[in-house]
């Protein structure tokens, strides 16, 4: 499928990240174009999650440059990344367990809320209007991800697959332009995986959201992504369209293996 992509939205140049003596990432460069689905694959411990953490400001690489929307990015904190439209989900579900599905997703919109705690304490008027306005947007996300029936359920009581979906909903509620998904399909059965793939493609299609995802299910990765980065031991060993990567001997050697 030939798809048109926009400009480079984020360009990572020669990123190196160390924790003490441990080299998590070494000299990695790749870019993400607007509107594409970019996959990062590689064996466990290859540095995939670290890569996402670098993109949204949880980790600060010792070397390298990050050009975001054409501007070199200074060292930034996660909340700054969030305010620039980067949202993500986590490998181990990172929902707010004590809160309902609705509250979790509403929290995703916190950056767009302008009222302060004094408004909230009084509630009537401004705070209530804002709450209703954002509730409408959240209901759109809820409808999009087909989780209407569980909106008042505390997330701790939900099965795993649904929790993953709620986490995606929370990220989407922020209306991101760059969405980072860390193993969105881990631990799911085939049906749930198909649902999740559909949602990811729909998000990409309907909202034009650029997506960077980490995934171990090669069937999924090769199916839905436009370009794939392959990491191994913190180094980049492959980069390109799925078909190209799939047949790259280095990638086969390090990760994909051969079928016997």
Partner 1 sequence: MFYREAGQFKASYQNDQQIFPIRQDQIGFIALMGFLFLVVPFIANQYWLQAVLIPVLIFGLAALGLNILTGYAGQLSLGSAAFMAVGAFGTYNFMLRIDGIPFLVALLLGGLCAAAIGILFGLPSLRIKGFYLAVATLAAQFFIVWVLVKFGWFSNYSSSGVITAQHVNILGVDFRSPEMKYLLTLTVVVVMALLAKNMVRSSTGRKWMAVRDMDVAAEVIGIRLMRTKLQAFAISSFYCGVAGALYAYMYLGTVEPEGFNLDMSFRILFMIIIGGVGSIMGSFIGAAFIVLLPVFLNVAFHSTIGAYVPADLASNLELIIFGALIIFFLIVEPHGLARLWQLTKEKLRLWPFPH
* Residues from 124 through 163 that contact partner 1 (CB under 8 A): 127-128, 130-132, 135-136, 139
List the one residue from 6, 19, 45, 123 that touches partner 1 (CB under 8 A): 123
List the one residue from 13, 26, 29, 115 that touches partner 1 (CB under 8 A): 115
* Phi, psi values for residue 180, rounded to 5°: -105, 125
Q: Is 99 in the site for partner 1 (CB under 8 A)?
A: yes
List the one residue from 122, 148, 189, 223 that touches partner 1 (CB under 8 A): 122
| Sheet of 8-19, strand order | 22-33, 8-19, 63-68, 71-72
Q: Is 177 in the site for partner 1 (CB under 8 A)?
A: no
* Residues from 186 through 245 that contact partner 1 (CB under 8 A): none
Q: Is 169 in the site for partner 1 (CB under 8 A)?
A: no
In the bound state with partner 1, the residue whose beta carbon lies nearer, of 65 and 97, is 97
For residues 227-238, b (16+ Cβ closer than 10 Å) or e, as one string?
bbbbbbebbbbb
| Cβ-contact 99, 170 below 8 angstroms | no
Q: How far apart are CA 167 and CA 163, in angstroms?
A: 6
Neighbouring C-alpha atoms within 13 Å toward the C-beta of 201: 13
Tokens of 242: 């799925």
List the one residue from 172, 174, 188, 203 that touches partner 1 (CB under 8 A): 174
Q: How far apart are CA 45 and CA 24, in angstroms?
A: 8
- Report the interface residues with partner 1, using CB under 8 A: 56, 58, 77-79, 81-83, 87-88, 90, 94-99, 103, 106-108, 110-111, 113, 115-117, 120-123, 127-128, 130-132, 135-136, 139, 170-171, 174
């Amino acid at each position: 499928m030939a798809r048109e992509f926009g400009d480079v939205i984020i360009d990572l140049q020669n990123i190196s990240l160390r924790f003490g003596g441990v080299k998590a990432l070494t000299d990695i460069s790749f870019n993400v174009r607007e509107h594409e689905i970019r996959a990062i694959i590689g064996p466990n411990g290859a540095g995939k999650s670290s890569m996402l953490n670098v993109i949204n400001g949880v980790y600060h690489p010792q070397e390298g440059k990050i050009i975001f929307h054409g501007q070199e990015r200074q060292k930034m904190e996660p909340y700054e990344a969030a305010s620039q439209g980067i949202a993500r989900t986590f490998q181990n579900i990172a929902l707010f367990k004590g809160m309902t599905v609705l509250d979790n997703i509403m929290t995703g919109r916190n950056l767009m809320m302008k009222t302060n705690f004094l408004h909230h304490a009084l509630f009537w008027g401004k705070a209530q209007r804002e709450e209703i306005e954002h509730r409408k947007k959240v209901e759109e996300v809820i409808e999009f991800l087909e989780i209407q029936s569980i909106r008042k359920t505390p997330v701790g009581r939900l099965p795993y697959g649904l929790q993953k979906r709620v986490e995606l909903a929370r990220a989407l509620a922020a209306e991101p332009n760059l969405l980072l998904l860390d193993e969105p399909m881990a631990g799911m059965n085939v049906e749930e995986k198909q649902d999740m793939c559909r949602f990811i493609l729909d998000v990409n299609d309907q909202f034009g959201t650029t997506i960077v995802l980490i995934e171990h299910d090669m069937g999924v990765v090769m199916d839905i992504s436009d370009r794939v980065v392959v990491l191994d031991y913190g180094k980049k060993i492959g980069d390109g369209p799925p078909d190209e990567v799939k047949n790259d001997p280095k990638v086969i050697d390090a990760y994909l293996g051969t079928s016997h």
